[in-house]
């Protein structure tokens, strides 16, 4: 009976409770939580090593139960959370001194029952149970009827040195459907405070499927035989606290558990796109095989309704073209236009982009259908979001990121799906990542997969080249900079989004795809509205752009900016011939030139843009591996015009060269006539570095940080 | 039928107003109102046999951009009940809205009875204007206190109309009306008085910028003083709040409901006070409440004004300002002191007791009268020392209980001897680096703020906080520090040792040195477009002395000119001087007044520009020939 599981009893009891809290259930939960808990929940001492922490989590437990009681018309999801925490500082007292939980309610056909308990254990062992009646309620009512109430409890008499032991149990009843997908969840086994003991348990009954993965050193679940049901439990101990650090992906570095539970009837399990082990409901599924991925992709693609008349377009315009690489590329750019570009003007003036989520899947469906018809062999490429994990840890269908590879010579990759993406462009979730590549999917035969590491783009492919011509005005103490920025690869997307709109690039495709003006063929009222929207959009367009530019420049240079003006796009960076996004602008600042006696200082170090500062504490050592989005390079070519009658001093410090396997910072300065030229390159070679490379990374980032403070003297000639 | 026809005519007339002018004037807004009329009418409620006020709002909202959205908020609480709401489009048809109602979350307040219902309007080509009418009822005239003229939206015509029967004695105090084009019209009929305030083209509240004070400091508004009325049935005069005495009496009524069970506090009081003199006893109790009672703000109906029982706060170890003040008073009384509850407004509101209204007070503390001296004890401010009144209530009027009588005092403003940041640094140049050793001493509000932050941050964040406090920017090269004293009774001393590469530069045998480490206020230029005043968080008195021995073989060839700026509310005084073989850098900065008004922004910005020029300038040393 030691492993008696609270939620099983609960589920049966709740089935007889209509609405409102049930006192018997509440009492049973309290007994289970506080009178016969696991022994770790009775501990009062904390280890010596953690006595100077803000708080120590003595024990924490998360229990999840997903059930379909026999003959019932509802599904039950139950989340039970139990924590026992030693409070050691005012900061932790603030964290745990005020807690909130949802009030039992019925909304949109879902019944929620909440059961809570809070008690304090004083250092002398005295236990004080807090009455929930002390809680105040905050209501939120949407229209009339749906009322969600949060109860807030300020824990009375809680002091530093106390232990707070509390539980919150939420029991949801959902009306039954044939297929119900519960929200995926992800747990980190390390938190803000160190943990002495923790456990996570699952109970899954009757046609509920659970897909679950533990990784990054998280222990595995074990099956506990309770005599009646199978319970899965994971226990962990002795976890240090974790705090936010730079270049850190928590789910890639910390012990992690991700899971998803699905209720499905036997037929629905097979029909819906999922990664379930269809014949094994109730089984804790910790891996997916290639067959399941293949089955998922097949049903996923079957569900997507493709549109866009790609095949017709290709037949009309590329009849007789035998070069398959041309066909693949043209098909991609047609889809980029039809599923994104042609809507951009409307999205811009209406301030929304509601179709973006659909685009990737529809494009893949359309391309694959066309490739099949055109007999272009092709494969799916499966990856997962970079920040969550790798394809080795794939367990939930929501993680799947899909791309295509046209299997021609040379192959063409399609993995990037913005309005400015190009073929053979690997976005950050595919660049350098381990992926699964399917066998040819152009036929109807079975699909197999092969795991492969994609090439990582070199830093220079994702480059920000800044050419900056600087004129200084000694009288007004201002610096005028004429800047040309050329961005390539993945480094261009952010700036394209910030500084370029439909009116800058849609015309590039208007003729090719016969795109009509958005005002054409509209009914009168719609036309009137559209014209108004266009006028309003243009009324604020320049202002918005200038604000973006001013804020971005201010943050990047880390100086106050007086004005920015003369913004102009030179190249949009949307074709293989012109793949760089190039724009120019002029910026004036009074924050770079300072008077120094009869001479002047120019803060040249600021011109290369601010290096991310790393706190001294974090510089000392690094435990966790280092993650950045992608390898990248910042190249600054600065030309400073020295005023007549003045010379410049202090160039020697501008000569720097530090390079290692993680990247480098190299700067050269040269004075020729009245012009000072600085050529500074900083690059990060990889998106991933092991923690052991931390000092190598710091070697050049610290030099770049110091470089930001460098100044030259503009000295009056004698 | 007649009513309906009138309504349509009215609507048509209203909608004839062109929205182009609104668009031209308020180009940054998505929506505006054409007119917004709030009518407050006093009436006798037969059911409850009490005087009430009905507020009726009528507003016509127009989009300034196509497809604009706006959620109109209607606030209420336990003392204000919501009445009818009606939304109609320009054709007079009912507009179907999305409504969301709930409690208002306010920063720093754990729980408040303030609630809001928002009505979402989506404007389309078909739906160009919406007329909203709503009503609310103030159940008790005492809680009918403040009427704002501007709103969160800009608009063309804002009208506030107050109608009250002749048998109601009320006064409406207009504040921040100077410089505003507000037309006031009074009408008296046989049995009613009516006052109308009309403001043309009001801007929206400008509250989004950094350090914006409460709108009460700058936005035109009315304070309603419902002083008394004659009972409409029997003619009896019912006093409400007609002067400070009545305000005090009302507070006293609420306080009389408090049931302080002193017995449960005697043990702790005797433990805290045994073998101590008077000062030590007060200090001991004051500090115990500061340290052991967590401040949690509640603003719940009547409980927004009535303190919680002392023993309850003691048992729970938390309370709001009233609960903490009442606990302090009760404990000090047990210890034999003349302790009294005291009401006041913090520096977040601008009112004084010239206006006898609940709106004047938003805080409660405990005052102790000892040897004819009043000691103000605010236990919500942690780490505050006895005999120092926290900055947020300095200069404010305070209403102190005195049995059936009361006292109104003004809390003195601490001078620079009591509230300062003093920095003393010995600097040397070692190998191209400016090394500084010395100390920073904090007293008054700066010390209290530092100690509060230091003691309430996570352990891992303390170090970063101290560094950023010392450097005032987060920048630090080689930075060591030690906190020597954290006792709230002593001056807090932080010893520092820094080494800064970027403050010394050598060019052609000349040394360029900046002796400024902290650059206070260097980033505090105020946006010239700002409409709202600028509020400093607290008064500051900075005294900094740094000295640098002139290195052997060098002579001083340039010292920046002194900077002397003295303006209303602030002064900057910075200079370099040579005494013997040392260069001294002396910096005195005083912020004496907490509010800068928009007409002062230009001179403030000019001052900051000069301050930065001084900070950025260098002293120059050359080799002696």
Write down the H helix ranges in B159-209.
none
How far apart (Å, rounded) are the C-alpha atoms in residues A513 and A342? Answer: 9
Q: Between chains, do B505 and A601 touch, taking CB under 8 Å as contact?
A: yes
The model's pLDDT over B162-180, given as tens digits with 9 standing for 90+, comes to 999 999 999 999 999 998 9
CA-based max dimension of chain B: 104
Q: Between chains, do B66 and A141 touch, taking CB under 8 Å as contact?
A: no
Chain A residues close to B324, C-beta within 8 Å: none
Q: Between chains, do A97 and B318 touch, taking CB under 8 Å as contact?
A: yes
- As given in the structure block, the two tokens for residue A450 are 């092969």
Position A29 confidence tier, pLDDT thresholds 50, 70, 90: very high
Chain B residues close to A650, C-beta within 8 Å: 505, 507
State how far residue B559 is from chain A, nearest Cα, in angstroms. 7
DSSP string, B277-299: -HHHHHHHHHHHHHHHSEE-EEE
Taking only residues 573 to 602 of chain A, the set having a beta carbon closer than 8 angstroms to any beta carbon of chain B reads 594-598, 601
Q: Does residue A432 belong to the interface with chain B, where contact is any CB pair within 8 Å?
A: no
Three-state SS annotation for B201-236: CCCCCCCCCCCCCCHHHCCCEEEEEEEEEECCCCCC
Q: Between chains, do A140 and B101 touch, taking CB under 8 Å as contact?
A: yes
- As given in the structure block, the two tokens for residue B431 are 């190998």
Q: HSE, CB side, 13 Å, CA atoms: give it for residue B52.
A: 17
Chain A residues close to B615, C-beta within 8 Å: none
Chain B residues close to A139, C-beta within 8 Å: 101-103, 115
Q: Between chains, do A596 and B617 touch, taking CB under 8 Å as contact?
A: yes
- As given in the structure block, the two tokens for residue B553 are 């073989």
Chain B residues close to A135, C-beta within 8 Å: none
State how far residue A659 is from chain B, nearest Cα, in angstroms. 23
The model's pLDDT over A244-271, given as tens digits with 9 standing for 90+, comes to 899 999 999 999 999 999 988 888 888 8
Chain B residues close to A540, C-beta within 8 Å: 27
Mean pLDDT over B197-221 rounds to 89
Number of H helices, E strands in chain B: 10, 37
- As given in the structure block, the two tokens for residue A703 are 């030099």
User: pLDDT at residue B301 above 80?
Assistant: no
Detail the DSSP E strand segments found in A45-135. Answer: 55-67, 74-87, 98-102, 105-107, 110-121, 127-130
Instruction: Give the pLDDT confidence score for residue A204 in this predicted structure.
Output: 78
- As given in the structure block, the two tokens for residue A379 are 């494969």
Place of tokens 């609405």: A19
Q: Does residue A623 belong to the interface with chain B, where contact is any CB pair within 8 Å?
A: no
Torsion sign across C-alpha atoms A80, A85, A87, A90: negative
Position A358 confidence tier, pLDDT thresholds 50, 70, 90: low
**Three-state DSSP state, B524:** coil
Chain A residues close to B476, C-beta within 8 Å: 616
The closest CB to that of A536, out of B66, B103, B315, belongs to B66
The closest CB to that of B459, out of A53, A532, A650, belongs to A53
Chain B residues close to A613, C-beta within 8 Å: 474
**Three-state DSSP state, B368:** strand
Which of A54, A88, A91 is the mutation pick for testing B, counting most B CBs within 10 A?
A: A91
User: pLDDT at residue A5 above 50?
Assistant: no
Which of B19, B102, B557, B615 is the mutation pick for testing A, counting most A CBs within 10 A?
A: B102
**Three-state DSSP state, A168:** strand
Chain B residues close to A92, C-beta within 8 Å: 458
Q: How would you class A531 by CB atoms within 10 Å of its CB: exposed for 0-12, middle for 13-18, buried for 19 or more?
A: middle
Beta bridge pairs of residue B325: none
The DSSP H or E segment spanning B509 is: none
DSSP string, A492-551: GHHHHHHH--HHHHTHHHHTTTTPPPTTTT--HHHHHHHHHHHHHHHHHHHHHHHHHHHH
User: pLDDT at residue B3 above 70?
Assistant: no
Whether residue A663 contacts residue A697, with contact meaning beta carbons closer than 8 Å, is answered with: yes
State how far residue A390 is from chain B, nearest Cα, in angstroms. 31
* Residues counted in chain B: 625
State how far residue A74 is from chain B, nearest Cα, in angstroms. 29
Which of B100, B110, B317, B509 is the mutation pick for testing A, counting most A CBs within 10 A?
A: B317
pTM for the structure as a whole: 0.91
Mean pLDDT over B346-367 rounds to 94
Q: Does residue A679 belong to the interface with chain B, where contact is any CB pair within 8 Å?
A: no
Position A17 confidence tier, pLDDT thresholds 50, 70, 90: very low
Q: HSE, CB side, 13 Å, CA atoms: give it for residue A213.
A: 20
How far apart (Å, rounded) are the C-alpha atoms in residues A307 and A523? Answer: 24
The model's pLDDT over A440-453, given as tens digits with 9 standing for 90+, comes to 998 877 899 999 99
Mean pLDDT of all residues belonging to chain A: 90
The closest CB to that of B318, out of A141, A156, A713, belongs to A156
What's B414's DSSP letter? P
Write phi, then psi, for A509 (nearest 5 degrees).
-110, 0
**Which residues are CB-contacts of A283 (< 8 A; sequence separation ≥ 6)?**
A204, A209, A210, A277
| Residue B26 C-alpha from the chain's centroid | 28
Whether residue B582 contacts residue B547, with contact meaning beta carbons closer than 8 Å, is answered with: yes
How far apart (Å, rounded) are the C-alpha atoms in residues A427 and A406? Answer: 17
**Pairing mode of beta strands A136-142, A127-130:** unpaired
Beta bridge pairs of residue B438: B425, B496
Whether residue B622 contacts residue B510, with contact meaning beta carbons closer than 8 Å, is answered with: yes
Q: Does residue A529 belong to the interface with chain B, where contact is any CB pair within 8 Å?
A: yes
The closest CB to that of A713, out of B67, B507, B525, belongs to B507
Which of B20, B294, B612, B620 is the mutation pick for testing A, counting most A CBs within 10 A?
A: B294
What's A653's DSSP letter? G
The model's pLDDT over B478-511, given as tens digits with 9 standing for 90+, comes to 677 888 777 899 999 999 998 888 899 998 889 9
* CA proximity to A643, closest of A584, A713, A707, A559: A713
Instruction: Give the pLDDT confidence score for residue B125 in this predicted structure.
Output: 66
Burial A428-466 (b: 16+ CB within 10 A, else e): bbbbbbebbbbbebbeeeebebeeeebebbebebbbbbb
Instruction: Give the pLDDT confidence score for residue B303 in this predicted structure.
Output: 63
Nearest CA in chain B to A156: B316
**Three-state DSSP state, B172:** strand
Which of these ranges, A298-302, B351-355, B571-575, has the smallest mean pLDDT?
A: A298-302
Instruction: Give the pLDDT confidence score for residue B475 in this predicted structure.
Output: 57
How far apart (Å, rounded) are the C-alpha atoms in residues B465 and B472? Answer: 10
Chain A residues close to B608, C-beta within 8 Å: none
* CA proximity to B445, closest of B522, B354, B353, B381: B381
User: pLDDT at residue A522 above 50?
Assistant: yes
Instruction: Give the pLDDT confidence score for residue B305 in this predicted structure.
Output: 81
Residue A72: count of CB within 10 angstroms of its CB = 14
Which of B456, B498, B507 is the mutation pick for testing A, counting most A CBs within 10 A?
A: B507
Instruction: Please confirm whether the linkage preceding A643 is cis (ω < 30° from 0).
Output: no
The model's pLDDT over B126-165, given as tens digits with 9 standing for 90+, comes to 667 899 999 999 999 999 999 999 999 999 999 999 999 9
* CA proximity to A495, closest of A506, A487, A484: A487
* CA proximity to B352, closest of B398, B289, B301, B295: B398
How far apart (Å, rounded) are the C-alpha atoms in residues B199 and B182? Answer: 5
The closest CB to that of A90, out of B111, B296, B455, belongs to B455
Torsion sign across C-alpha atoms B575, B576, B578, B583: positive
How far apart (Å, rounded) are the C-alpha atoms in residues A394 and B150? Answer: 56
Q: Between chains, do B27 and A539 touch, taking CB under 8 Å as contact?
A: yes
How far apart (Å, rounded) are the C-alpha atoms in residues A676 and A432? Answer: 39
Mean pLDDT over A593-621 rounds to 90
- As given in the structure block, the two tokens for residue A102 are 């949802």
- As given in the structure block, the two tokens for residue A42 are 């009775």
Q: Does residue A705 belong to the interface with chain B, where contact is any CB pair within 8 Å?
A: no
How many CB pairs below 8 A link A and B? 127
The closest CB to that of A156, out of B66, B125, B317, belongs to B317
Q: Between chains, do B65 and A525 touch, taking CB under 8 Å as contact?
A: no
Residue with the larger pLDDT of the pair B17 and B541: B541
ipTM: 0.89
How far apart (Å, rounded) are the C-alpha atoms in residues A148 and A126? Answer: 36
Instruction: Give the pLDDT confidence score for residue A308 in this predicted structure.
Output: 59
Chain B residues close to A144, C-beta within 8 Å: 99
Whether residue A244 contacts residue A294, with contact meaning beta carbons closer than 8 Å, is answered with: no
* CA proximity to B521, closest of B583, B565, B578: B565
How far apart (Å, rounded) are the C-alpha atoms in residues A413 and B542? Answer: 63
């Amino acid at each position: 009976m030691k492993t008696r599981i609270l939620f099983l009893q609960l589920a049966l009891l709740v089935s007889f409770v209509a609405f409102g809290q049930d006192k018997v259930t509440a009492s049973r939960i309290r007994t289970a939580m506080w009178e016969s808990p696991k022994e770790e929940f009775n501990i009062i001492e904390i280890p010596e090593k953690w006595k100077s922490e803000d708080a120590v989590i003595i024990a924490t437990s998360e229990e999840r139960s997903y059930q379909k009681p026999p003959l019932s018309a509802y599904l039950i999801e139950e989340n039970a959370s139990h924590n026992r925490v030693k409070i050691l500082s005012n900061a932790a007292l603030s964290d745990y001194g005020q807690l909130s939980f949802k009030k039992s309610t019925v909304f949109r056909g879902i019944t929620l029952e909440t059961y809570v308990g809070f008690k304090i254990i004083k250092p002398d062992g005295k236990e004080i149970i807090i009455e929930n009646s002390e809680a105040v309620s905050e209501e939120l009512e949407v229209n009339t009827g749906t009322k969600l109430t949060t109860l807030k409890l300020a824990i009375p008499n809680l002091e530093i040195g106390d232990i707070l032991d509390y539980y919150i149990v939420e029991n949801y009843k959902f009306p039954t459907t044939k297929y119900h997908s519960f929200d995926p969840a992800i747990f980190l086994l390390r938190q803000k405070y160190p943990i002495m003991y923790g456990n996570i348990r699952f109970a899954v009954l009757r046609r509920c499927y659970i897909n679950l993965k533990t990784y990054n050193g998280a222990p595995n679940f074990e099956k506990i035989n309770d005599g009646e049901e199978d319970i899965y439990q994971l226990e962990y101990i002795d976890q240090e606290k974790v705090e936010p650090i730079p270049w850190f992906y928590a789910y890639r570095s910390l012990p992690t558990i991700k899971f998803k539970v699905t209720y499905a009837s036997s037929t629905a399990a097979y029909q819906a796109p999922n990664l379930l082990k269809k014949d094994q409901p109730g089984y804790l599924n910790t891996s997916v095989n290639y067959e399941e991925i293949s089955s998922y992709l097949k049903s996923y693609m079957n569900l997507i309704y493709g549109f866009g008349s790609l095949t017709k377009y290709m037949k009309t315009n590329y009849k007789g073209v035998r070069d398959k690489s041309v066909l693949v590329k043209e098909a991609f750019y047609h889809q980029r236009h039809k599923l994104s570009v042609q809507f951009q003007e409307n999205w811009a003036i209406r301030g929304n982009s509601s179709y973006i989520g659909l685009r990737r899947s529809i494009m893949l469906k359309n391309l694959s259908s066309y490739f099949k018809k055109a007999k272009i062999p092709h494969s799916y490429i499966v990856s997962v979001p970079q920040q969550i994990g790798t394809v080795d840890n794939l367990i939930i269908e929501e993680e799947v990121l899909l791309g295509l590879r046209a299997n021609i010579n040379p192959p063409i990759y399609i993995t990037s799906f913005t309005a400015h993406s190009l073929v053979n462009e690997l976005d950050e979730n595919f660049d350098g990542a381990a992926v699964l590549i399917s066998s040819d999917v152009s036929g109807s035969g079975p699909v197999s997969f092969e795991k492969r590491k994609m090439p990582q783009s070199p830093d220079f492919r994702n480059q920000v080249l800044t050419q900056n011509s600087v004129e200084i005005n000694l009288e007004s103490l201002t610096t005028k900079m004429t800047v040309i920025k050329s961005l390539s690869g993945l480094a261009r997307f952010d700036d394209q989004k910030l500084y370029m709109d439909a009116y800058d690039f849609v015309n590039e495709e208007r003729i090719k795809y016969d795109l009509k003006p958005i005002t054409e063929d509209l009914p009168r009222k719609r036309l009137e509205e559209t014209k108004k929207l266009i006028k309003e959009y243009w009324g604020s367009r320049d202002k918005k752009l200038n604000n973006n530019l001013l804020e971005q420049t201010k943050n990047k240079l880390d100086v106050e900016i007086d004005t920015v003006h003369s913004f102009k796009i030179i190249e949009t960076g949307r074709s293989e011939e012109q793949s760089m996004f190039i724009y120019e602008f002029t910026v004036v600042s009074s924050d770079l030139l300072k008077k120094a006696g009869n001479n002047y200082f120019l803060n040249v170090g600021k011109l290369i843009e601010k290096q991310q500062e790393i706190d001294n504490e974090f510089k000392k050592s690094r435990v966790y591996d280092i993650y950045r989005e992608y390898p990248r390079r910042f190249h600054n070519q600065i030309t400073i015009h020295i005023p007549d009658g003045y010379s410049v001093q202090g160039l020697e410090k501008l000569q720097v060269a530090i390079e290692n396997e993680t990247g480098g910072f190299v700067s050269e300065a040269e004075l020729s006539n009245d012009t000072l030229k600085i050529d500074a390159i900083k690059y990060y070679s990889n998106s991933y570095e092991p923690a052991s490379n931390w000092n190598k990374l710091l070697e050049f980032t610290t030099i770049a940080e110091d470089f930001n403070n460098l100044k030259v003297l503009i000295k009056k000639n004698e | 039928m007649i009513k309906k026809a009138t309504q349509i005519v009215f609507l048509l007339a209203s909608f004839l107003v062109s929205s182009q002018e609104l668009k031209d004037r308020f180009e940054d807004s998505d929506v505006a109102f054409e007119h917004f009329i709030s009518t407050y009418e006093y009436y006798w409620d037969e059911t409850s046999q009490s005087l009430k006020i009905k507020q009726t709002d009528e507003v016509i909202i127009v989009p300034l951009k196509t497809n604009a959205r706006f959620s109109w908020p209607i606030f209420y609480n336990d003392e204000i009940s919501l009445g009818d709401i009606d939304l109609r489009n320009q054709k007079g048809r009912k507009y179907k809205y999305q409504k969301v109602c709930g409690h208002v979350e306010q920063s720093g307040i754990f729980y408040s009875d303030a609630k809001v219902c928002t009505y979402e309007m989506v404007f389309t080509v078909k739906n160009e204007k919406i007329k909203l009418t709503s009503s609310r009822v103030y159940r008790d005239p005492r809680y009918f206190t403040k009427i704002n003229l501007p709103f969160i939206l800009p608009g063309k015509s804002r009208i506030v109309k107050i109608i009250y029967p002749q048998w109601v004695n009320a006064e409406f105090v207009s504040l921040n009306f100077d410089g505003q084009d507000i037309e006031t019209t009074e009408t008296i009929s046989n049995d009613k008085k009516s006052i109308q305030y009309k403001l043309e083209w009001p801007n929206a509240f400008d509250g989004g910028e950094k350090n914006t004070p409460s709108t009460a400091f700058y936005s035109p508004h009315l304070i309603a003083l419902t002083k008394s009325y004659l009972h409409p049935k029997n003619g009896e005069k019912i006093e409400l709040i007609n002067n400070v005495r009545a305000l005090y009496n009302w507070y006293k009524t609420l306080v009389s409901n408090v049931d302080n069970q002193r017995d449960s506090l005697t043990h702790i009081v005797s433990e805290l006070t045994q073998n101590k003199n008077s000062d030590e006893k007060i200090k001991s109790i004051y500090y115990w409440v500061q340290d052991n009672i967590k401040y949690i703000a509640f603003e719940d109906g009547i409980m927004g004004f009535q303190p919680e029982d002392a023993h309850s706060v003691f048992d729970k170890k938390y309370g709001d300002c009233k609960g903490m003040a009442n606990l302090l008073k009760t404990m000090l009384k047990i210890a034999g002191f003349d302790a009294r509850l005291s009401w006041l407004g913090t520096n977040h509101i601008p009112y004084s007791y010239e206006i006898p209204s609940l709106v004047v007070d938003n805080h409660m503390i405990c005052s102790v009268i000892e040897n004819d001296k009043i000691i103000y004890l605010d236990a919500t401010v942690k780490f505050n020392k006895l005999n120092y009144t926290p900055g947020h209530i300095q200069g404010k009027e305070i209403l102190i209980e005195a049995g059936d009588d009361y006292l109104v005092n003004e809390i003195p403003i601490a001078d620079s001897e009591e509230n300062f940041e003093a920095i003393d640094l010995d600097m040397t140049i070692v190998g191209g680096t400016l090394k500084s050793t010395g100390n920073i001493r904090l007293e008054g509000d700066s010390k209290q703020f530092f100690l509060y932050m230091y003691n309430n941050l996570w352990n891992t964040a303390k170090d970063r906080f101290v560094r950023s406090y010392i450097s005032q920017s987060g920048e630090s090269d080689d930075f060591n520090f030690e906190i020597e004293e954290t006792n709230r009774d002593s001056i807090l001393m932080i010893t520092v040792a820094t080494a800064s590469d970027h403050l010394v530069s050598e060019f052609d045998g000349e040394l360029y040195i900046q002796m400024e480490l902290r650059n206070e206020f260097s980033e505090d230029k105020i946006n010239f477009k700002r409409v709202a005043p600028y509020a400093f968080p607290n008064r500051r008195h900075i005294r900094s002395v740094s000295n640098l021995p002139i290195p052997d073989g060098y002579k001083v060839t340039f010292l920046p000119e002194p900077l002397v700026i003295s303006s209303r509310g602030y002064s900057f005084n910075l200079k370099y001087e040579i005494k013997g073989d040392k260069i001294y850098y002396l910096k005195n900065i005083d912020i004496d007044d907490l509010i800068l008004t928009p007409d002062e922004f230009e001179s403030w910005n000019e001052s900051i520009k000069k301050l930065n020029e001084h900070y950025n300038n260098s002293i120059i040393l050359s080799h002696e020939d």
